[in-house]
Structure 1
Amino acid sequence: MDTLISWFQEHGGSVDASSLGFAEIDGQGRAAVAKRDLPEGHNLFSIPRSLTLSTRNSPLPKLLGDALWKTHELGKGWVGLILCMMWEEAQGPASKWSGYLATLPTDFNTPMFWSEEDIQELKGTAVVDKIGKEDAEKDYHGRLIPCLNARPDLFLPELLSTCYSLEQYHTHGSRILSRSFHVEKSDDEDSDEDAEAGCSDAMDTDEAPQLVAPSGPGSAENDSAAGAAGEDSDDEDDEDVGDVAMVPMADMLNARYGSENAKLFYERYDLNMVTTKPIKAGEQIWNTYGDPPNADLLRRYGHVDVVSLPGGGEGNPADIVEVRADLVVDCISSGAGDLSERIDWWLDQGGDDTFALDRDLELPPDCISFIRLLQLTSGEWDKAQTKGKLPKGKMEPAIASVAVEVLTRRLAQYPTSIEDDEVLLSPERTGTLSLNRKHAIIVRLGEKRILRGMLDNMRKLAQGDGKKYNKRKADDKGGRSGKKARQ
């Protein structure tokens, strides 16, 4: 840490060494710790925008030129930033970021690096389909390698098997995925003069699990770059990849569900890590990943959160279960005729192809709407098309009956039962589990408990009527200001 701090300060960063220290904590690695009692609003450290590492700040894109950058689609996804990090590391001490890159991890606990045997422990979860290793390697061979070969003056042939290897590609991609921030371009960067000066971007971290603008002026909120190293991302096509940046010092803070007590804020030229509540001496200083479910935590960062749950027990309160729309179709299609036209219309109207179930244990309105759409009579279907409106998400016994079938089949996709997993995580057995297997069991157990709880609710509704259910949903909606911010 002394080396990193020295490099940081030499390049214009400032650290309040009387307030912030670093320590090794069991199960969490290196962590930031308060050295004294800290008030809310205390500035822990500041980072010059120019010290963030992004495709805007690295000189490589300009050295390559726009034509080559566009030819190999380096501005699409995270390939360009990975290449910049590879190139900067290959420069050794000549790189502005050499002191920082030397401190970044080389080993990861994310599923990207798991064995096939360990991956099988995640069967039934949505994690397996989102690892993206094959897509990452396709980008490496199809986009990055041709670029390397086109400029041997920039990418020395003798370094191709080391600094630019597939292994290094995965390593840098995982660094981006687990440690990057979303940094918006500053106003100054809109001018050519400021761009030449190397000004950086302006950060984002707090609101949704995906990359979103901060909730208030000047706040910079932390989120991993979904899409790095092949990571699947719905937002990738819409986002300016130049906004994704590595932020020295800020990426040293750990995160845990509901524990955030510091946040990154930005000003015109600097990014500041500021306490958001009082912190006692000796307490850990936590940033936020936005409180995502354990499936996302494991996939992006290689760890899971296990805290006390509101209803008792332990787990991650933000856990969700994904249910694919095609599973819903399979449960309805028998005897329903060809539903493809309705499915296409659903998607054209902006309907999702996956539904997220959470610990509310209530069927999401969009899932109810989809089931109702598939169950419409021919006359009702024609009327819906004429109006151009999807069915309302109103619960009734017929909907609940379909949900019972859907949830039963979804639960059967896991190779083990809830009881099996609880035994494996018991004090007598958990010590014999590898870290990967333990994490996989925690992820799938959290999901299965949601499915079982929702299945119990749907069975009760299928035997009665949905009036009380719909009233409760309406009351809940009226008592909320909107969707919970996902940070």
Structure 2
Amino acid sequence: MATVVPKFFDWFQAHQGTIDTFSVDVINFPPSEGGRGAVAIKDIPKINKLRWCTKEGHVLFTIPRDLTLSTRTSSLPTRLGMEAWKNAKLHEGWAGLILCMMWEAAQGSSSKWSGYFDILPSSFDTPMFWTEEELAELRGTSVVEKLGRADAEKDYKEKLIPAINSRPELFLPRDIPTHYSVEMYHVMGSRILSRSFNVEKWTPDGEEEEDDGGAADVSMGSGMDVDLPDGASAPPTHSPLGTDDLEHEEGEEQEQEDSSDITMVPMADILNARYRSENAKLFYEETYLKMISTKPIKAGEQIWNTYGDLPNAELLRRYGHVDVFQLPSGGKGNPGDVAEIRADVIVSVTAEQHSLSTDAIHERIDWWLEEGGDDIFDLYFDLEIPPSIISIIRLLLLLDEEWEKTREKAKPPKPKMDAVVLTVLHEVLQRKLKEYPTSIQDDEQLLITASSLNLRHAIIVRLGEKKILDGILTKTAAALATENKMKRKTTHEDRPAAASTLKKTKRQA
């Protein structure tokens, strides 16, 4: 049992964690299969009559709530004092959990979680740790701008350092260069981003504000789910968020998110994930979390949780890997890939093609955003054009009188496609494709000769996005050609009728 992490298993079970050692082991898989992960060592039916089974499925392992690591379970917030904790704004975002993890690691063997820290990764393949040269290979994708490195370091300087310096008896000065450095801050942040779950407080029946029928969505930086068992009350659901998402995204979602829910869950975070391969899910009860099978698992198969079927850009940013499968349309890639179009590109192209005034643009875009319109538009492998893209283009092209009526009704224009919109969209797609450093053909060749894993990952990410953009560009070009053909046909048919009318008028004269 535990062919890879025997000491961790000893620690885990010594702290009342339980494992079905007859069914589960942890071994090293190839990097393409997620690296270290859990495997079934015998056939695991979804439901059977063994003591490890519930009506939901087979219980693979259980984790006591007090063995999870969060700002609720670490003693640091209490030791620092809750008033000081809040004054330092450590209750906002993930800065508080990062500081708790730094402090617990600094305690060494005296920390309750010392056995857990021993198996956590200290190096990552995520772009946060790439060189500038490697990051340049991601130009055109949204990965680099979402890393949030500068913002994270701002939090480190403005939140953590003042708190650390204020209590030298808690944060020993000799430990600062090692346990409380900015490098360690990024390591802990990356551990949270790639391994944490969103575990809400247990809410007794009848006291919750909202019951959604049994599923409390959770995340893991990874988007891994923690669900409620049948019959339990469900707290309000939240969307999956990563480290920089939670710290730096603005708006209502961030305000509603309770940062104390973000939790490191020993054992559960060993499970890997792959697109639409989930066969186990984490459920929670009052005092325990339980990893339970959701499908039959054959002996030798890996036990998969889920990251939420993310696009390769997000998989790379958060976890340092990508998913590649045979696509239904041919070739290989991630069916969940997304190509993002920024609203400012749409605005720029529309303004250039139709000589729109700056004041008119600002007024309409401000209104669009106030009404909840998108500022980034996602394109998928189904090659469908989002109605919101059509709507924002039509909004920018409205005559002044039409714009006033639209504003009065507080409803954006209907997403009706025509040649004018297609012309704008065609140029937007071309401009977006030019943001990447290479063409699709270049990438397909480079993928064969890629000299490093990071370069290979960057190529796969941008290639997936470009295939989506190129597919929609081809579709748009065909639709525009049809529109222009119909226009020419209509014009041609109208001309003889006009000439005939003119001749008739002359004869009558």
Tell me which interval the TM-score lies in, with the shorter structure as reference length. Answer: 0.7 to 0.9
Match of 1:26 in 2: 30
Match among 321, 346, 349 for residue 368 of structure 2: 346
| Kept in 2: contact 1:407–1:451 (CA 8 A) | yes
- Asked if 1:149 corresponds to 2:155, the answer is no
5 Å matches for 1:160-199?
Answer: 160-187=176-203
What is the letter of the counterpart of residue 267 of structure 2? M
| Kept in 1: contact 2:201–2:261 (CA 8 A) | yes
| Kept in 2: contact 1:131–1:232 (CA 8 A) | no
- Asked if 1:257 corresponds to 2:261, the answer is no
| Kept in 1: contact 2:222–2:242 (CA 8 A) | no
Which shows bigger deviation, 2-11 or 456-465? 456-465
- Asked if 1:121 corresponds to 2:137, the answer is yes
What is the letter of the counterpart of residue 287 of structure 1? N
| Kept in 2: contact 1:134–1:230 (CA 8 A) | no
Which shows bigger deviation, 231-240 or 389-398? 231-240
> How far has the Cα of 1:394 moved from its partner?
2.7
CA separation of 1:269 and 1:175: change in aligned 2, threshold 3 A: same
Over residues 366-424 of structure 1, what are the superposed CA-to-partner deviations in whole Å (9 max), with x where a residue is unaligned? 11111111111111100001111111223223222111010000000001000000001
Cα separation, 2, equivalents of 1:223 and 1:148: 32
> SS of the residue aligned with 1:109?
coil
What is the letter of the counterpart of residue 128 of structure 1? V
5 Å matches for 1:227-246?
Answer: 227-228=243-244, 232-233=248-249, 235-246=253-264
CA separation of 1:168 and 1:420: change in aligned 2, threshold 3 A: same
Percent identity of equivalent pairs: 54
> How far has the Cα of 1:177 moved from its partner?
0.2
CA separation of 1:68 and 1:137: change in aligned 2, threshold 3 A: same
5 Å matches for 1:1-400?
Answer: 1-27=5-31, 28-40=34-46, 41-187=57-203, 204-205=217-218, 225-228=241-244, 232-233=248-249, 235-334=253-352, 335-338=355-358, 339-400=361-422
Cα separation, 2, equivalents of 1:62 and 1:10: 25
Cα separation, 1, equivalents of 2:98 and 2:289: 23
| Kept in 1: contact 2:195–2:220 (CA 8 A) | no
| Kept in 2: contact 1:207–1:214 (CA 8 A) | no
Match of 2:459 in 1: 441
Cα separation, 2, equivalents of 1:134 and 1:229: 13
TM-score of the superposed pair, with normalisation by structure 2: 0.84
Match of 1:475 in 2: none
> How far has the Cα of 1:148 moved from its partner?
0.3
Match among 419, 442, 445 for residue 420 of structure 1: 442
Cα separation, 2, equivalents of 1:165 and 1:418: 41
Cα separation, 2, equivalents of 1:152 and 1:361: 57
CA separation of 1:211 and 1:132: change in aligned 2, threshold 3 A: farther
Structure 2 runs not aligned, ≥5 long: 47-56, 208-214, 485-509
Which structure has the larger Rg over C-alpha atoms? 2
> SS of the residue aligned with 1:312?
coil
Cα separation, 2, equivalents of 1:272 and 1:63: 30
Over residues 185-214 of structure 1, what are the superposed CA-to-partner deviations in whole Å (9 max), with x where a residue is unaligned? 1126999xxxxxxxxxx9744799869985
What is the letter of the counterpart of residue 265 of structure 2? V
Over residues 220-261 of structure 1, what are the superposed CA-to-partner deviations in whole Å (9 max), with x where a residue is unaligned? 999975125997545434311011000000000000111111
TM-score of the superposed pair, with normalisation by structure 1: 0.88
Cα separation, 1, equivalents of 2:217 and 2:22: 27
| Kept in 1: contact 2:195–2:264 (CA 8 A) | yes
Cα separation, 2, equivalents of 1:158 and 1:190: 50
CA separation of 1:216 and 1:268: change in aligned 2, threshold 3 A: closer
Cα separation, 2, equivalents of 1:184 and 1:147: 26
Paired residues in the alignment total 452
- Asked if 1:407 corresponds to 2:429, the answer is yes
Which shows bigger deviation, 289-298 or 237-246? 237-246
> How far has the Cα of 1:285 moved from its partner?
0.6
Match of 2:499 in 1: none
CA separation of 1:90 and 1:56: change in aligned 2, threshold 3 A: same
Match of 1:452 in 2: 470
CA separation of 1:213 and 1:449: change in aligned 2, threshold 3 A: same
CA separation of 1:82 and 1:123: change in aligned 2, threshold 3 A: same
What is the letter of the counterpart of residue 357 of structure 2? G
> SS of the residue aligned with 1:21?
strand
